[in-house]
Structure 1
Amino acid sequence: MRFLEELRELDFFLLLILLCIQGFGLVAVYSATYDGGTSPFFYKHLTYVILGWLLIIFLSFEKFENLLDLSFYIYLFNLLLLMAVLLYGKEVYGAKRWLHLGFFNVQPSELMKFSLILVSAYLLPAIKSIKDRKVFLLFLIYAIPSLVTLKQPDLGTTVSYYVPLVFMLFVRGVPLRYFILAGMAFLAFLPLAWKYFLKPYQKKRILAVIDPMSDYYGSGYQLIQSKIAIGSGMLTGKGLLSGTQTHLFFLPEKHTDFIFAVIGEELGFIGTFILCSLFLLLFLRLIQYHEMAQRLSEKLFIAGTFSLILFQFTVNTLMTMGMFPVVGIPLPFVSVGGSATITFSAMIGVTQYIYKKYRYPYMKLEKDGIYE
């Protein structure tokens, strides 16, 4: 009975939004992988969605403080998995990003996103100034997995590690001048990155955004086919299982990176508008969570979760519309990807515990200190 009572304290509004978003994903994956019958990819995706919901419920009962105490151990475990990829990883399309563990594959770089947000929420409140030695520890915590992930290679995921950190530092109260200086340093570094660090195929992907027709059958192919798919869907779409770009194999990676193009082609502008509106409601609800939370560590975790989902949603949708270079960034809760589904479900589960903690307005707890 106690379990049912606590279960009723969950935020059913946010969970309903999440269920609707995942419903779009299940329909799109079913269509994208349909080949005369239901594909194993669909059943696999459905299995991870169910596991994700079980994880959400489990973490909604787990004290956030306990997770913070375990954050370094969780981080180190994920780091070992990430390093194991370099030695025992499964190579797909020239990239080593997956570990084969019996009946399933795991992508440690996806799990690392959750670990970094959690350990940052633990460490940042303890940092009192820029000269604190913990700043160097935070640098190492991000630098090591970044180098390993770049080695795979996976530039998109590496960049996604740092987006939540920027938001969390802002919430922490870091002075604006540091962000301005970091931005100027980043802009100054871009020419060097272009000349010495970016691989030829990465440069082609960036240039393809400007003129995809210049390399129609190469770096511009994915962008062109995705734009054709979305544009051909027009207002109401071609209907489920009726997308020509999707089912005549013009659209690449249609069940993962380009799942939004499948939705655009088969459900049209109306379908994509509803999906984007659902994400907007999700973001607004997470902002409310941030306002509800009273402890700094909780605000930091919510900010990290919000920013990561927002970043991946923005990059994925812009990419499929030809407005951003092609990168391996899945659409949260929609694209096929067990590790990503589990990662984002874990984040939502933790936020549910925080929501339950503050759902009653009379609950007042002492706030943590803020950055001076």
Structure 2
Amino acid sequence: MSLASPAPVAPSIDPAALRLSVAPMMDWTDSHCRVFHRLLAPHARLYSEMVHANAVIHGDRERLLGMDPVEHPVALQLGGSEPALLAQAARIGADWGYDEINLNCGCPSDRVQAGRFGACLMREPGLVADSVAAMVAASATAARPVPVTVKCRLGVDDDHDYDRFRAFVDTVAEAGCGIFIVHARNAWLQGLSPKENREVPPLRYDWAYRLKRERPDLQVVVNGGIADAEEATAHLAHADGAMLGRAAYHTPYLLHRLDVAWFGGQLQPRAELLRAMRPYVEAQLARGVFLKHISRHLLGLFANERGGRAFRQVLSEGAHKPGAGWALVEEAIAITESFAQPAVQDA
């Protein structure tokens, strides 16, 4: 398509809604996980696992797209590189009630390379622009048009040219995308595993900051390597938001601390937050969901606290057993809290 004529522009997102978000993570950020994170952080923006456009179109949509109303605002992340298919999937996602459609331009796995999507798209800005324009146009036909955003890297392999990165963003922005989530590392398509791609390439937050300075009309969210509240807060001085990934999953109470610090309210005890999830858990159990599929997302709640290891152990060892229910969660809480009680001194 030609970008000579003005392209449709996707709806924007309230800046406050971009301040705190949880990254889309394969095998982690399913609906159970997102419900838990929503209880911890009422103001955070949540993201689905990446779903390929073909799966959205032809697969089991209830399994792939199903969500609980409490999750909103929640975004659907799509993978793919065919504009027509991405457009169709974006429209489906909008009709299913997602608040944002996000295009993955950052995943470096072998599977996405074979399918010519994910991080490979960093080298095809014209194709990404065509895809975004098609997705924006499709979203505009939905009952409730939603923003179309892009999550990208800084470059691929030995692309260490800021101007090339900015040119990618400019090309995609001209197609109607005004929001970029920047995982501030390169993606290595050869020689590094997906796990190593999240750790080995050096972080260059300054590129994301510079993009925001030079393109102030764009909304820029920083992602990658954010491990604690201090780091997350520091990014807000230079960008529109901070997106947490592994830290949000392995130490989820961090989300609660940030939500309270940035949006107001009072810190709630971990056990009280967890007990708020009981109605959801029991409703899922009544539908035939096994506790282990939910409890695996809860294991880090008491991370770095006394009794945190016992909490993980009780849930890990018991949740897979037949009949495991909320009583096991209460048992884990009780054992954990017993570690915090002062020892009784003999007279």
- The TM-score normalised by the length of structure 1 is 0.27
Going by fraction, where is helix more abundant, 1 or 2?
1
- The TM-score normalised by the length of structure 2 is 0.29
Going by fraction, where is strand more abundant, 1 or 2?
2
